[in-house]
Chains A and B, each alone.
Chain A
Amino acid sequence: MLIILIIGLDLIYNFTLYKRDLNEKCEQIVEVKTKQKNTDIFYFGESSNFNIRETDSIKNSISEITAFFFPTLTLTSINKPATHAGIYKEWLKQINVNEKKPKAVIVTLNMRSFDAAWIHSRLETQLQESIVLAQSYPNIINRFLLSLQAFDNKTEQQREAEMLKEWETTPLIFPFPFKYKTVREWDNGIAQGTYIKADGSWDHDKITLACHYVKGYAFNIHDNNPRIKDFDEIADWCNKNKVSLYLNLMAENVEYADSLVGKELVFLMKQNRDYLIKRYQKNNCVVVDNLELVDGKEFTDQNWTTEHYGYKGRMIIAKNVAKALNKQFVKEYKNAY
């Protein structure tokens, strides 16, 4: 009797409140569902796609610039700040494969999304909340689970504790001798006055920035990284449904990483890049490698580690993506710049 009642309530919910809840809680999922029919290429991104420099005369996002190269195709971008593969995969699953499918999906591959700071980010709870309604249970059950907070719903303190623990306990692996064994040790090492001004005082701004680089990029990606599992799922879904997958590996400020922290950090960044390219090329995906393409000055945040670029940086990445897409969409390609 209860089951019949819940089935009935699910029907009522679908006809009445479901759309309102979806719009309120997971705007991106609604976008994927509603725009699918008119989309040839989906671009899933985070702030790297749409963030611009205030002084930019041209304010187009990476996805918009990419679209200019394929005027006859419809490239739809779906964005949410701080998103990662765990969320992209849920967006992807909203595509109804029985209807008109997109021909390709470009998914942002942000290297920092593999690090502890992003995995245990305080924004994670909000991101997880945004996909509860998209689960494969009946919609009314999903809505109830949302009310019960039945998702990865940790407090900011819990997430911070997990992040600190990972920095303290996860060993950094180098093929050469290196004095720091963990992120915590490396961070502490740099914090002990690595940068000294001419007057003998510590250059705190530089030290802080160098520490950010260590926390943001000092890690070895391995098979058990949760993001790897997410990207694997994305790749599997695309392979299964015959949709081309382009992983857009975002440019990082390798120049500053080198000058502020040193070659060891750059080694890790490149090693991680190589790992990702190798893993996903094997899995029929195209990895668009932008890691070292953008100059340090082209990053809009000079005192922080972000993947936010000025127009020149966005153009370089868009061109690189278009170049990769050109192999699939030869006829549709038009050299726009």
Chain B
Amino acid sequence: MLFNSLHFLFFLPIVIGLYYLLPQKFRWMLIFISSCYFYMVFVPKYILILFLIIVVDYIAALTIERVQGRLKLFYLIASLTANIGLLAFFKYFNFLNENLVSVFSLFGREFHPVNLSIILPIGLSFHTFQSMSYTVEVYRGRQKAETHLGYFANYVLFFPQMVAGPIERYETLGNELKNVHKPLYQNFSDGFKLILFGLFIKMAVADNIAPYVNQIYADPLKYNSYEVVLSVFLFSFQIYADFFGYSTIALGCARLLGINIMNNFKTPYLAKSVSEFWSRWHISLSTWFRDYLYIPLGGNRVKIPRWSINILIVFMISGLWHGAGWTFVVWGALHGIMLLLERYFSVIFKFEIKKEWSILNAFLVLKTFVVTSFIWIFFRAENFQKAKDMIKAILRNHSFQFAHLEILFPLIFTGLIILFDVFLYNSRFDSKLNTLKTPYRWAFYTVLLFCLMALSGTQKFTFIYFQF
């Protein structure tokens, strides 16, 4: 089910109403059933994959806790293999085949892959990563294995964040799901604010920018360099608004149930460096990779050459996590390279970014935005040819002949999202709004509601991160 659908606008109040009407001991059942229903609206049979992940990790964690020595590691590896195996099959099977065909042809051989028409289950990368973090934490002894299958299932299935994160840890979401939640005014107030804001940035901002960006990316060589550069910058805001919108609605929905989930974004385009960008963008994924890949590889404790390789490995795998394609790997690698360059620069020139705002910092923010925007080309382009066409169009076609694309609304909403980012810097929408006086708050609601209801995009664009 999509958050930006009428279906969801009916579904949510029913779930919230029933949740507070039911006694605590039955609430997990409601969350379980509603989460299954929420997921099954997409492709019903794929719920079985989720059940498999739940059962495997539930049993694995209990066993890991019970056994000693090498057996612990054995069960952890078994659980991780099952999770990664599922992900590999559904997400990377065809990608692997395509690459094998290329490799074989390089040596003058033919490879005939088995063609499976697999549809990637929505949000599979999110579920598997969330579930894997739990078994690893149990293995490390930092988390007690959950004995109640229902609670564990809800941790994996919790509908507000099940298909596109944030990737939560059991320590937080697991406990939040068990706590007794009362229908508090503040939770409702904050929840509705977040949902309103999330819908606004998804439907009014992202969906108004999407048609412009899609037209350019479909055939970049048809447009002049100014239009193409604009589409590169606009895509940065589109994907931000799209994903930030989803995450904000997820936060709001959870809040209505009295449950706190983590903030996945902190005004990322106000970051002064690429490394800071990654501490502000898709925070739950960045911290996942930090805790379960970067630190086990050695973290900061190794020498610079090894550290550099580790950074590249982490970013390239992060790219591959996003999509089964080399363009995603390049996207990740470019981020890694930029991060390394920044670090070398700061070490060689003993340069430190100061916290106080200054012209230099404003320049650094702009630089980071431009760099990340151009790297997004590899993320957005369907293949290398399209990415190459984008770059070619930027470098070659400087004519002033403009195609008459609808640009007014994309620019207005881009301006609005920039203003919101400056306004929200380092804080969350609900808490920032709560500091304002009532008339200003209502002025905000009025503007947001009007933009949402009267100016939202009218084409159907699913959340970009659903495909991961």
Contacts and interface: CB of A to CB of B under 8 A. Distances in A.
Contacts of A144: 452-454, 456
B58 to A, nearest CB: 35
A147 B450 contact: no
Interface string A136-148: 0000110111111
How many chain A residues sit at the interface, stated as a range, is 20 to 34
7 contacts: A9-B446, A9-B454, A13-B450, A144-B453, A145-B6, A147-B4, A153-B460
The 7 closest A-B pairs by CB, nearest first: A147-B456, A150-B6, A144-B453, A13-B454, A148-B6, A149-B460, A140-B453
Interface residues of B, number: 18
Q: Counting chain B CB atoms within 10 Å of each CB, which of A129, A147, A150 scores highest?
A: A147
Contacts of A173: none
A145 B453 CA distance: 8
A13 B445 contact: no
A25 interface: yes
A25 B453 CA distance: 16
Interface string A12-28: 11001100000001000
A6 interface: yes
B5 interface: yes
B454 A5 contact: no
B449 interface: yes
Interface of B: 4-6, 9, 203, 207, 445-446, 449-450, 452-458, 460
Contact of A149 (B5, B9, B454): B5
Interface in A102-157: 129, 140-141, 143-150, 153
Given A143-B454, A147-B456, A147-B457, A5 B6 contact: no
B4 A148 contact: yes
Contact of A147 (B203, B445, B446): B203
Contacts of A145: 6
Contact of A6 (B5, B449, B455): B449
B195 to A, nearest CB: 13
B5 A148 contact: yes
Contacts of A146: 458
A9 B447 CA distance: 9
Contacts of B454: 9, 12-13, 16-17, 140, 143-144
A6 to B, nearest CB: 7
B169 to A, nearest CB: 33
Contacts of A129: 458
Contacts of B445: 5
A129 B449 CA distance: 22
Given A148-B4, A148-B5, A143 B449 contact: no
Given A129-B458, A144-B454, A147-B457, 10 more contacts: A5-B446, A6-B449, A8-B446, A9-B446, A9-B454, A147-B452, A148-B4, A149-B460, A150-B5, A153-B460
Nearest to B6: A150
B105 to A, nearest CB: 32
Nearest to A132: B458
Nearest to A142: B453
Contacts of A149: 5, 460
Given A143-B454, A144-B456, A148-B9, A5 B207 contact: no
Contacts of B449: 5-6, 9
Contacts of B450: 9, 12-13
B106 to A, nearest CB: 36
A11 B460 CA distance: 26
B453 A9 contact: yes
Interface string A254-278: 0000000000000000000000000
Contacts of A12: 450, 454
B456 A17 contact: no
A8 B446 CA distance: 9
A58 B424 CA distance: 65
Contacts of A153: 460
